[in-house]
Structure 1
């Protein structure tokens, strides 16, 4: 089966086409720009489909990162996945973004229990803990780094969140991923499906309320 995978829950806009039968990622494109998810995602999808020489009608499923991540960027990926899945009549599967990051770290050589962390802004991180096999053992959660210092002490760390707070997280080893990888996201999903395990529904994993909110009290403007 051919999977189209993409994620917009981190500053990286990443897309890939993966062949589950050959266990091979046919094409991947990554662009880091936290402010242009909406502009970059569809061109990235078009690029990987062309590079893989895969017409969209041949896709068997879509895999999308469900976060946790900032509200706006995350919604771009999920809305696009829902629209494409509906238009093509194929299933859409969700994968926790931190699980994809952890799978990328394992592919880069990360061994033993470790922590994956991304930037949650507001001086917080989204994070989760993983065992030596890369299975999630805790999280995902959103916390201030100082609040989880004892829980992550002594564990190797990967991701942009770890880089931002070196006083709490161990420095990532050389070559470890900073942001999400759609190729790793697709590999994780393919392995879960092959093992008969259910993936997440393609709905956003926010963990907290969005930064932008509708004002609760409006000013009363009286006619002059």
Structure 2
């Protein structure tokens, strides 16, 4: 097994290679505006560090969001392209699940909430019974509107850091952004258990920021 994992649903452009038992190479860069520029060089870099060729990959793991429209599509299109070219499966995972799993690896065992920045003064979030078990569907809300629902839960992720008044305790040493290494480890665990994956389709939860103007006039040649 050699999994290539990647995620661009958060400001982190994160890529990792996982051989079924350990991470053999990884790259993590935080830049919310350069996903398209950074992703492919990161893939090339981790392959080079591991001394492996892309043809060695047996499966692709991709975070499907929720996340902002443009950044999220970069990772999903890249994952789908690799899957098609290599003729290997593409396994979709909720980005929030990867962050929760990383929190578990960092020592957070009990119930928790994961929140990422959704912009527009909102967060993408979900609650978890533990680092492996999601207890609610991913949602997008204003932090103040969910403060009572997440009260008392340890919170991780950039959204929780950004709105500390709405979230409870922010444990030290917890992940703020996605980690492809954690995403790959979670995928390997699910593959071993025969658990299903999400389709490699974007989980947007809301309409994109860029839209056609309401009064747009189509001009056709005479």
Which residue does the alignment assign to 1:17? 17
Can you list the C-alpha shifts for 1:62-92, whole angstroms capped at 9, x where unaligned?
0000000000000000000111111111111
1:3 aligns with 2:3: yes
Matched ranges for 1:77-88 at <5 A: 77-88=75-86
- Structure 2 regions of 5+ residues with no counterpart? none
The structure 2 residue matched to 1:184, chosen from 182, 185, 194, is: 182
Match of 2:34 among 11, 36, 42: 36
Residue 171 (structure 1) shift: 3.7
- Superposition CA RMSD, Å: 1.2
Counterpart of 1:44 in 2: which secondary structure?
helix
Q: Distance in 1 between matches of 2:82 and 2:5?
A: 12
Equivalent position of 1:129 in the other structure: 127
Q: For the structure 1 residues 133 and 7, does the alpha-carbon distance in structure 2 shift closer, same or farther, using more than 3 Å as the test? A: closer
Structure 1 unaligned blocks of 5 or more: none
Hey, what does 2:110 align to over in structure 1? 112
| Aligned position for 1:145 | 143
Length, aligned pairs only: 219
Indicate if the aligned counterparts of 2:110 and 2:130 stay in contact, CA closer than 8 A.
yes
Q: Is the 8 A contact 1:163 1:171 kept in 2?
A: no
Partner of 2:69: 71
Tell whether the 8 Å contact from 1:113 to 1:134 is kept in structure 2 after alignment: no
For residues 131 and 2 of structure 1, the distance between their equivalents in structure 2, rounded to whole angstroms, comes to 30
- Give the distance between the partners of 1:131 and 1:139, measured in 2 at CA: 12
Q: Provide the C-alpha distance between the structure 1 equivalents of 2:62 and 2:131, rounded to a whole number of angstroms.
A: 22
Secondary structure in 2 aligned to 1:34?
coil
Larger mean CA deviation between 47-56 and 147-156 belongs to: 47-56
Deviations 1:140-183 (A, max 9, x none): 11111111111100000000000011111124211101000000
Cα distance in 1 for partners of 2:65, 2:184 equals 15
On the 8 A contact 1:102/1:134 being kept in 2, the answer is yes
Contact kept, 8 Å, 1:162 with 1:171, in 2: the verdict is: no
SS of the residue 1:139 aligns to: coil
Asked whether the 8 Å contact 1:25–1:183 carries over to 2, the reply is: yes
Q: Distance in 1 between matches of 2:109 and 2:170?
A: 12
Give the match's secondary structure for 2:136: strand
What TM-score comes out, normalization by structure 1 length? 0.95
Matched residue, 2:51: 53
State the match for 2:162 in structure 1: 164
- CA distance change for structure 1 residues 133 and 215 in 2, over 3 Å: closer, same or farther? closer
SS state of the match for residue 63, structure 1?
strand
